[in-house]
Structure 1
């Protein structure tokens, strides 16, 4: 009788152990294909691009390693230097303008005004558009023969001129205008969420002490939103470094190379000029620029968490 009970218990426990093991491993099996695809499609191709940057690859990849020759050619390439200069101008103005406009709009909406939901939706709407649509619309608006300049001429102001889009010295600033129009609403949403998380008792205590509302925002509230500032800068810098479709839609890098950015340079030399090694080198420098921004930020965040 006891032997029969032991056997039945063993029969019951075996499927139970099998079921427990299946429940433990099933989630891992489900997400395993995703991790494999990410590993191959992202990190694998990043590694492959890095390898190609040290080769003499042209239209097709070859593995004739030439050391840092492609990077040396890149640093001596006038178009790459122009692209890097344009990125500094575009990135600096884009980040500063988006932060300024986003903070001002967030403070404005934080006053609990009427129709806040509708106004917030209007500000956020440009972010719902693709960069191609934004670039095409702004190209029409800034085109001297179609947009603002033609409208002013039709209204009688024939001396009005606004030809920035076709002016090689000013065309890069039109890219900044379009990018700021699209991204400033997103920054506003980030800061508005941060402002709504500030304890209202702090504001009331400061008002009791006689502080004005602008001074409260400048001295108390905005300094407490340092993590929001860091997050916004990281996102905006990432957008600036990889900007491609907006430039292609508005100017295609012209006039000449005056609005070239590194992403445009990389595409042109890799896919149209058959210089895969040089394009890969430019892509790795872009990756390095992004890592130079992200790694210190992640390090500071992890260090703060350890101290907490």
Structure 2
């Protein structure tokens, strides 16, 4: 009997610890391959690493070089332009489309699928498709000229002053449907009793949305901004597929800057410093969001 009781206790203890036993290897691997390599990148950013990593610390030399490199300022400027337009236009289109679909139209499912479909594609596919569309010799410019407008010009893809806006066009095309889905979910979560009360009080559709519905969706707006900002900062594959960072490095982003210095110019320390700056930017966005969410949950 004593032996049976011991085995029962052991079995129960094993069952209680089974989830921890299953999750522990995955957690350990995540710590090593994610946070371990983040720590390694931070360390390399303080060294004079070139083609191969060097582990002797050299202070802030790589960061000083980074912030005196004109190409880095071009990348930051492009990131600001792209992020501002990408987030702003995607949110504007998303909320307008969500409000239209919230009217319970018959073909809502079809329209929602059409607008959500681009999000199912990778940024590589999106960039390649828009590269064909915007190519002066293949796409919109050639099509309009074939229609009888020989003076029509749309060469943004090869124009250093406008190439960054082609990335905005492709990014908005892919992500505005996702923003629409999030906003639509937020609209559908608004209490119908509140809307009925507003209608009884004589509030029109415009005042109902601007005074009641949209202000109550502040958490949804914040989530959309965080998600789109995260996509904007990580924009690497879209830039590579659409412009390759060119013409020259006119459409360079911090991610493509890091790639160029790591794998093309073999300056590992410089690339690590730019990666750390990208990480700091993401943390500056995510940490306040997490803090506000946790504080709201405690309340």
Instruction: Name the TM tier (shorter chain).
Output: over 0.9
Give how far 1:205 is off: 1.3
Partner of 1:243: 235
Give how far 1:152 is off: 0.6
CA offset digits 1:73-92 (Å, max 9, x no partner) = 00000111100000000001
Give how far 1:64 is off: 2.1
Match of 2:8 among 13, 16, 22: 16
Distance 1:261 1:270 in 2: 14
Match of 1:199 among 183, 191, 201: 191
Name stretches of at least 5 consecutive residues in structure 1 with no aligned partner: 1-8
Distance 1:25 1:206 in 2: 53
Distance 1:286 1:53 in 2: 12
Instruction: Give TM-score, length-normalised by structure 1.
Output: 0.96
Distance 1:260 1:268 in 2: 10
Instruction: Give TM-score, length-normalised by structure 2.
Output: 0.99
Distance 1:143 1:176 in 2: 16
Give how far 1:68 is off: 0.6
Distance 1:144 1:63 in 2: 48
Give how far 1:96 is off: 0.3
Give how far 1:21 is off: 1.7
For residues 226-265 of structure 1, the aligned pairs below 5 Å read 226-265=218-257
Partner of 1:286: 278
Distance 2:213 2:255 in 1: 37
Give how far 1:147 is off: 0.2
Partner of 1:74: 66
Match of 1:91 among 65, 83, 89: 83
Distance 1:102 1:200 in 2: 22
Name stretches of at least 5 consecutive residues in structure 2 with no aligned partner: none
Match of 1:213 among 202, 205, 210: 205
CA offset digits 1:149-184 (Å, max 9, x no partner) = 000111101111101111100000000000000000
For residues 1-308 of structure 1, the aligned pairs below 5 Å read 9-307=1-299
Runs of 4+ in 1 over 2 A off after TM superposition: none
